Structure 1
Amino acid sequence: MSRMKGGELIADYLVQEEVPYIFGICGHGNVGILDALYDRRDKIQLVSPRHEQCAGHMADAYFRVKHKPVATLTSTGPGSANMVMSLATALSDSSAFMAITSNVPTSQHNRAPFQELYKHNQADFAQVMRPVVKRAFQPSRVDMLPLALRQAMDTMVTGRPGPVNLDIPYNVYQEEDEVELPARSNLHRAHRPGASEQDVQAVVELLAAAHQPVLFIGHGATLSEAGAEITELAERFGIPVITSPNGMGCIRGDHPLALGFIGRNGAYPANEAGRRADLVLTLGTRFDDRSASSWHTGYSWNFPKTKLVHVDIDPQELGRNYAPDLGVIADVQVFTRQLLNELAKRELSDARFAPWREQVQCWQREWEAFVRPHFEDSTSPLRPEFVVGTLQKILPDDVILSLDSGVHHNWFMQFWQSKRPQSMLNSWGYSSMGFGVCGVMGAQLAAPDRPCVAVVGDGGFTMAPYVLCTAVEYNLPVVWIVWNNFAWGAIRDLQYGLFDGREIGTAFYKGQSGERYNPDFAAWARAAGADGMTVKRPQELAAAVQQALKNRRPCVIDVHVDAEVRPPSTGTWQLPPIPYKEPAFGKPWIA
Structure 2
Amino acid sequence: MTTRKGGEIITDRLIAEGIDHVFGVCGHGNVGLLDCMYERRDELRLVSPRHEQTAVHMADGYFRVSHRPAATLTSTGPGSANQIMGLAVAQTDSSAVLAITANVPTSQFNRGAFQELNRHHQADFNNVIKPVVKRSFQPSRVEMLPLAMRQAMQEMTTGRPGPVNLDIPYNLFQEEAEVPDEPPGGAFGKRRSGASAEDVSRAVDMLLGAERPVLFIGHGVTLSEAGPELTALAHRLRIPVISSPNGMGAMDMEDPLSLGFIGRNGAYQANHAGRHADLVLAVGARFDDRSASSWKPGYSWNFPHTKLIHVDVDHAEIGRNYLPDLPILADARSFLRQILAELEGRDLPAEERLKGWAADIAGWTQEWDAYIAPNWGSEAMPISPFRVVEECQKVLPPDAILSLDSGVHHNWYMQFWKARNPQSMLNTWGYSGMGFGPSSILGAKLAAPDKVCVSICGDGGFTMVPHVLCTAVEYNIPVVWVVWNNFAWGAIRDLQYGYFGGREYGTAFTQGDNKTPYNPDFAAWARAAGVAGYTVTRPGDFAGTLEEAIRLNRPALIDVHVDADIRPPATGSWELPPLKPKEPVFGSPWRP
Shorter-chain TM-score category?
A: over 0.9
Q: Which moved more, 1:290-299 or 1:201-210?
A: 201-210
Distance 1:204 1:154 in 2: 33
Distance 1:483 1:361 in 2: 33
Q: Which amino acid aligns with 1:231?
A: T
Secondary structure at the counterpart of residue 80 of structure 1? helix
Secondary structure at the counterpart of residue 376 of structure 1? coil
Counterpart mapping for 1:59-458 below 5 A: 59-185=59-185, 187-348=187-348, 349-458=350-459
Q: Give % identity.
A: 63
Relative to structure 1, the CA distance from residue 581 to residue 174 in structure 2 (aligned partners, 3 Å threshold; closer, same or farther) is same
Distance 1:28 1:181 in 2: 28
Relative to structure 1, the CA distance from residue 531 to residue 186 in structure 2 (aligned partners, 3 Å threshold; closer, same or farther) is closer
Query: Does structure 2 retain, via aligned residues, the 8 Å contact 1:140–1:168?
Result: yes
Question: What corresponds to 2:554 in structure 1?
Answer: 553
Per the TM alignment, residue 379 of structure 1 is displaced from its structure 2 partner at its CA by 1.0
Query: Does structure 2 retain, via aligned residues, the 8 Å contact 1:375–1:385?
Result: yes
Instruction: Give the CA RMSD over aligned residues.
Output: 0.7
Distance 2:529 2:193 in 1: 49
> Is 1:28 aligned with 2:28?
yes
Query: Does structure 2 retain, via aligned residues, the 8 Å contact 1:214–1:242?
Result: yes
Query: Does structure 2 retain, via aligned residues, the 8 Å contact 1:143–1:177?
Result: yes
Q: Which amino acid aligns with 1:300?
A: S
Secondary structure at the counterpart of residue 355 of structure 1? helix
Per the TM alignment, residue 347 of structure 1 is displaced from its structure 2 partner at its CA by 2.0
Give the number of equivalent residue pairs.
Answer: 591
Deviations, residues 58-97 of structure 1 (Å, cap 9, x unaligned) = 0011110011101000001100001100110000001111
Q: Which amino acid aligns with 1:170?
A: Y
Q: Which amino acid aligns with 1:401?
A: L
Per the TM alignment, residue 344 of structure 1 is displaced from its structure 2 partner at its CA by 2.0
Per the TM alignment, residue 350 of structure 1 is displaced from its structure 2 partner at its CA by 3.4
Distance 2:571 2:159 in 1: 34
Secondary structure at the counterpart of residue 517 of structure 2? coil
Q: Which amino acid aligns with 1:172?
A: L
Q: Which amino acid aligns with 1:473?
A: E
Deviations, residues 378-411 of structure 1 (Å, cap 9, x unaligned) = 1111100111011101100010000000000000
Per the TM alignment, residue 188 of structure 1 is displaced from its structure 2 partner at its CA by 2.5
Query: Does structure 1 retain, via aligned residues, the 8 Å contact 2:17–2:186?
Result: no
Q: Which amino acid aligns with 2:330?
A: A
Distance 2:414 2:512 in 1: 34
Per the TM alignment, residue 345 of structure 1 is displaced from its structure 2 partner at its CA by 1.6
Query: Does structure 1 retain, via aligned residues, the 8 Å contact 2:142–2:177?
Result: yes
Query: Does structure 2 retain, via aligned residues, the 8 Å contact 1:236–1:350?
Result: no
Q: Which moved more, 1:337-346 or 1:460-469?
A: 337-346
Deviations, residues 516-538 of structure 1 (Å, cap 9, x unaligned) = 00001000000000100000001
Distance 1:415 1:213 in 2: 23
Query: Does structure 1 retain, via aligned residues, the 8 Å contact 2:156–2:186?
Result: no
Secondary structure at the counterpart of residue 432 of structure 1? coil
Question: What corresponds to 2:582 in structure 1?
Answer: 581
Per the TM alignment, residue 376 of structure 1 is displaced from its structure 2 partner at its CA by 1.1
Q: Which amino acid aligns with 1:580?
A: P
Distance 2:301 2:186 in 1: 40
Distance 2:425 2:272 in 1: 24
Question: What corresponds to 2:543 in structure 1?
Answer: 542
Deviations, residues 439-480 of structure 1 (Å, cap 9, x unaligned) = 000000000010100000000000000000000001010000
Secondary structure at the counterpart of residue 534 of structure 1? strand
Query: Does structure 2 retain, via aligned residues, the 8 Å contact 1:238–1:354?
Result: no
Counterpart mapping for 1:523-542 below 5 A: 523-542=524-543
Question: What corresponds to 2:517 in structure 1?
Answer: 516
Relative to structure 1, the CA distance from residue 106 to residue 186 in structure 2 (aligned partners, 3 Å threshold; closer, same or farther) is closer
Q: Which amino acid aligns with 1:516?
A: P
Query: Does structure 2 retain, via aligned residues, the 8 Å contact 1:48–1:55?
Result: yes
Distance 2:514 2:104 in 1: 50
In structure 2, list runs of 5 or more residues that go unmatched: none
Q: Which amino acid aligns with 2:31?
A: V
Question: What corresponds to 1:47 in structure 2?
Answer: 47
Query: Does structure 1 retain, via aligned residues, the 8 Å contact 2:488–2:509?
Result: yes
Distance 2:43 2:182 in 1: 18
> Is 1:501 aligned with 2:509?
no
> Runs in 1 of length 4+ with deviation above 3 angstroms?
none
TM-score (norm 1): 0.99
Query: Does structure 2 retain, via aligned residues, the 8 Å contact 1:139–1:148?
Result: yes
Secondary structure at the counterpart of residue 419 of structure 1? coil
Query: Does structure 1 retain, via aligned residues, the 8 Å contact 2:285–2:312?
Result: yes
Distance 1:325 1:78 in 2: 47
Secondary structure at the counterpart of residue 516 of structure 2? coil
Question: What corresponds to 1:482 in structure 2?
Answer: 483
Distance 1:428 1:308 in 2: 23
Deviations, residues 115-150 of structure 1 (Å, cap 9, x unaligned) = 000000000001111100001000011000010000
Query: Does structure 1 retain, via aligned residues, the 8 Å contact 2:242–2:258?
Result: yes
Secondary structure at the counterpart of residue 414 of structure 1? helix
Deviations, residues 205-225 of structure 1 (Å, cap 9, x unaligned) = 111221000000000000000
Per the TM alignment, residue 292 of structure 1 is displaced from its structure 2 partner at its CA by 0.4
Q: Which amino acid aligns with 1:484?
A: N
Distance 1:535 1:436 in 2: 20
Query: Does structure 1 retain, via aligned residues, the 8 Å contact 2:571–2:586?
Result: yes
Distance 2:480 2:446 in 1: 14
Q: Which amino acid aligns with 2:193?
A: P
Secondary structure at the counterpart of residue 503 of structure 2? coil
Distance 1:186 1:352 in 2: 45
Distance 2:490 2:447 in 1: 31
Secondary structure at the counterpart of residue 167 of structure 2? strand
Question: What corresponds to 1:9 in structure 2?
Answer: 9
Relative to structure 1, the CA distance from residue 186 to residue 289 in structure 2 (aligned partners, 3 Å threshold; closer, same or farther) is closer
Deviations, residues 237-294 of structure 1 (Å, cap 9, x unaligned) = 1111000000000111111110100000111000000010000000000000000000
Q: Which amino acid aligns with 1:115?
A: Q
Query: Does structure 1 retain, via aligned residues, the 8 Å contact 2:260–2:267?
Result: yes
Q: Which amino acid aligns with 1:329?
A: L
Per the TM alignment, residue 433 of structure 1 is displaced from its structure 2 partner at its CA by 0.1
TM-score (norm 2): 0.99
Per the TM alignment, residue 186 of structure 1 is displaced from its structure 2 partner at its CA by 5.7
In structure 1, list runs of 5 or more residues that go unmatched: none
Distance 2:347 2:434 in 1: 50
Query: Does structure 2 retain, via aligned residues, the 8 Å contact 1:200–1:342?
Result: yes
